[in-house]
Chains A and B, each alone.
Chain A
Amino acid sequence: MKILVAVKRVVDYNVKVRVNADQTDVDIASAKMSMNPFDEIAVEEAVRLKEAGIATEIVVVSAGVAQCQETLRSAMALGADRAILIETTELLQPLAVAKLLAAVVKNEQPGLVILGKQAIDDDANQTGQMVSALTDLPQATFASKVVIADGKATVTREVDGGLETLNMDLPAILTTDLRLNEPRYATLPNIMKAKKKPLDVTTPEALGVDVTPHLKTLKVTEPPVRSAGIIVPDVATLIEKLRNEAKVI
């Protein structure tokens, strides 16, 4: 079975992002970039399925600027076999990415598609669901356990009140939650090997997808900052403050 994994290049989760001078966008020009953490989990899951003999090939795909090649190389260093970059300098919104991925799904015919549940930059939490809708393949979002057997996937999902288990025929679309697995680190030999793995570059035009944005960002601002309050010396003072000053107990 072939597994397709989508990976996004995002500002590293440790970076404190800032607004640009005219408040129209996020200033990420010099920020450290990394693979979206949920996508690392997606790659790891695919690698484990390959190690378990369930998957035969892992194809990673990313859409965006030329530098996304680095993200794809790191996915290959973790164990993916080949990569596809859909290169564009257009700002890609989730609907556009979903259409691009749906086109790749059509070409590649994978048995399973794994995406992160959300990207930590736009926090949109949409792409996997949209790919599922566009390809007419079943979806399981927020997966924390995946079992593949007899051409079916049994997926435990993290939902508001607890866990839910779904069963679906393959091919299917999964999005990963934090506790699906613990991603490994790439070793130096694997990083070297990844440099030689095949990486194909295509474009939205070649895939016949219109990526024009549907949302216009009018403004990006810092939320009002919460200022630090006071340090109280003891529990008695805390209770007094909560009762009489804040009036919350």
Chain B
Amino acid sequence: MTILIIAEHDNGSLRKSTLNTVAAAQQIGGDIHVAVMGSGVADVAQQAAAVAGVSKVLTFDDAALAQATSEAIAAQILSVAAAYSHILAPATSMGKSTLPRVAARLDVAQVSDIVKVESADTFVRPIYAGSLLATVQSMDAVKVITVRTTGFDAAAATGGSATIEPQTVQAVAHSARFVSSEMAKSDRPELTAASIVVSGGRGLGSAENFHILETLADKLGAALGASRAAVDAGYVANDLQVGQTGKIVAPQLYIAVGISGAIQHQAGMKDSKVIVAINKNPDEPIFQIADYGIVGDLFEVVPQLTAAL
């Protein structure tokens, strides 16, 4: 059994989601190879080769892959797919957009967003916004899987000494073309990797009011998150949305401020170690999952909390 992992990186460094995916692969068992695609990825390849448990790194290095589209990534994977029993990627935008293409071309099912490995062909995945867990068995020869990163502790970034093998880069026809990207810049930790997340909901009332959460987040060294309602109302950018259809987070501490705790929001944060809810309505569902709750006006509680830290 040999497993191929599609690395997530920014052409300079390997993202932690890749390490979570390696951890899932270790539970499946077998040889682990990592594919690194991009432009000028020698450093990323070195980092991937150092990850504990990885035995080979395949590099697809080409200027055309600098901003690789899903079509291009899938084409590279398909060029080597025959050698693998499992193909894994983190369930990030990249993994979610790319792997179903690979699965379809191989005529196999994709097992999306696994949170647990039962055996080499059996996996657990959340359904219905995480309100249920399904254990599914793949009957396909090749298992194509995306991995929910919060389901697996990261593999060690060092300790491995994999060989690096450059591959022939495949050209793609009928592909979308990259035009531009507008990445949110923030000095705060990244939402999915932060150990503390401070999230705000519609209760904040406006984009200006959201600043009181920023002050709290900065004091705690926390990432900022939001409910869908807060994002839809334009208080913050949509890459901060936590939930079924936003980001899945599982920090040590999640502070939900002015968030009701709808099932779709819970889907993205209920695996946090400790949950704090600040809400003026004691009947909101958020209090049913919070370890500590404060019933009160957030405009009083949050400044007090910030001041007391």
Which residues of A are in contact with B by a Cβ distance under 8 Å?
Answer: 11, 13, 16-17, 19, 26, 93-95, 98, 117-118, 120-127, 129-130, 132-134, 136-142, 144, 154-155, 157-168, 172, 177-179, 213-223, 226, 228-232, 234-236, 238-239, 241-242, 246, 248-249
Q: Given that A93-B109, A123-B126, A215-B139 are contacting pairs, would A138 and B176 also be in contact in the complex, using a CB cutoff of 8 Å?
A: yes
* Least distance between B10 CB and chain A CB atoms (Å): 9
Interface residues in B268-282 (C-beta closer than 8 Å to A): 270, 273-276, 282
Whether A214 contacts B138 by the Cβ 8 Å rule is: yes
| CB pair B132 A231 closer than 8 Å | no
* C-alpha gap A123/B181 in the complex (Å): 26
Q: What is the bound-complex CA distance between A231 and B277, given in angstroms?
A: 9
Q: Are A123 and B244 in contact (CB under 8 A)?
A: yes
B287 CB within 8 Å of chain A? yes
On whether A166 and B103 interact (CB within 8 A), knowing A138-B176, A222-B133, the answer reads no
With a cutoff of 8 Å between Cβ atoms, the chain A residues found around residue B273 in the complex are 246, 248
Q: Which residue of B lies closest to A230 (CB)?
A: B292
In contact, A239 and B112 (Cβ under 8 angstroms): no
- A221 with B133: CB separation less than 8 A: yes
User: Within the complex, what minimum Cβ distance (angstroms) separates B19 from chain A?
Assistant: 16
> What is the CB-to-nearest-CB distance from A97 to chain B, in angstroms, rounded to a whole number?
11
Q: Are the CB atoms of B74 and A133 closer together than 8 Å?
A: yes
- Judge whether A218 and B129 touch: CB under 8 Å: no
Taking the complex as formed, is B171 at the interface, i.e. its CB lies under 8 A from any CB of chain A?
no
Cα of A214 to Cα of B105 in the assembled complex, Å: 14
B residues 75-95 in Cβ contact with A at 8 Å: 92-94
CA distance A144 to B126 in the complex (A): 25
B228 within 8 A of partner (CB): yes
Contact with A along B115-132 (1 / 0, CB 8 A): 000000010001111111
Which single member of B99, B132, B174 contacts A26 (CB below 8 Å)?
B132
Q: Could you list 8 further interchain pairs (A-B, Cβ under 8 angstroms) beyond the known A17-B128, A162-B182?
A: A133-B104, A141-B96, A142-B97, A216-B137, A221-B133, A222-B132, A229-B275, A246-B273
C-alpha gap A94/B101 in the complex (Å):
12
Partner of A123, one of B108, B112, B293, B304: B112
Which residues of chain A are within 8 angstroms of B177 by Cβ–Cβ distance?
Answer: 166-168
B: which residues have CB within 8 A of A? 69-71, 74, 92-94, 96-105, 107-113, 122, 126-140, 173-184, 192, 196, 220, 228, 231-232, 237-239, 244-245, 247, 252-253, 263-264, 270, 273-276, 282, 287-295, 301, 304-305, 308-309
Task: Tell which of B178, B238, B252 touches A179, judged by Cβ atoms closer than 8 Å.
Answer: B238
Interface pairs A-B: 5 shortest CB-CB: A214-B109, A229-B291, A129-B100, A130-B104, A126-B100
Query: A94, A136, A178, A248: which contacts B100 (Cβ < 8 A)?
Result: A94
Chain B residues with CB below 8 A from A144, complex form: 238
Please determine whether A11 and B308 come into contact, CB atoms closer than 8 angstroms: no
Question: How near does chain A come to B234, taking the closest CB pair, in angstroms?
Answer: 10
A95/B239 in contact, CB under 8 A: no
Tell me how far the C-beta of B93 lies from the nearest C-beta in chain A, rounded to whole angstroms: 4
Cα(A159)–Cα(B246), bound, Å: 10
Q: What chain A residues lie within 8 Å of B183 (beta carbons)?
A: 161-163
A11 CB contacts on chain B under 8 angstroms: 128
Chain B residues touching A, majority SS: mixed
Q: Which residues of A contact B112 (CB under 8 A)?
A: 122-126
List 9 A-B residue pairs with CB atoms under 8 Å apart, sorted by A's residue number: A11-B128, A129-B101, A130-B100, A162-B184, A213-B109, A229-B293, A231-B294, A242-B274, A248-B196
- Contact pick for A136, options B174, B244, B274, CB 8 Å: B174
| Contact (Cβ within 8 A) B100 A228 | no
Residues on A with C-beta less than 8 A from B264 are: 13
* Contact of B253 with A123 in the complex, beta carbons under 8 Å: no
CA distance A245 to B231 in the complex (A): 33
Chain A residue contacts of B111, Cβ below 8 A:
215
B137 nearest in chain A by CB position? A216
Q: Contact: B131 with A215, CB < 8 Å?
A: no
A133 near B100 with CB under 8 A, answer yes
A229 touches which of B253, B282, B292, B305 (Cβ 8 Å):
B292
Which one of B135, B138, B175, B232 lies within 8 Å of A219 (CB-CB)?
B135
Give B122's nearest chain A residue, CB to CB: A218
Selected from A118, A125, A220, the residue in CB contact (under 8 A) with B134 is A220
Given the complex of chains A and B, what is the CA–CA distance between A228 and B74 in angstroms?
44
In the assembled complex, the CB of B282 is this many whole angstroms from the nearest CB of chain A, namely 7
Asked if B113 and A134 make an inter-chain contact with CB atoms under 8 angstroms apart, the answer reads no
Residue of A nearest to B286 (CB): A228
Q: Please measure, in the bound complex, the distance between the C-alpha atom of A161 and the C-alpha atom of B10, giving whole angstroms.
A: 11
Task: Given A11-B128, A17-B131, A248-B253, answer yes or no on A124-B294 (Cβ-Cβ < 8 Å).
Answer: no
State in angstroms the CA–CA spacing of A242 and B140 once bound together: 47
B254 shortest CB reach to chain A, Å: 10
Partner of A214, one of B74, B139, B231, B289: B139
- Bound form: Cα–Cα A13–B265 in Å: 12
User: Among the interface residues B94, B109, B232, which one has the most CB atoms of the partner chain A within 10 A?
Assistant: B109
Using CB atoms, name the residue of chain A closest to B175. A138
Q: Which of A11, A161, A165, A218 has the most CB of B within 10 A?
A: A161
B176–A242 CB distance below 8 A: no
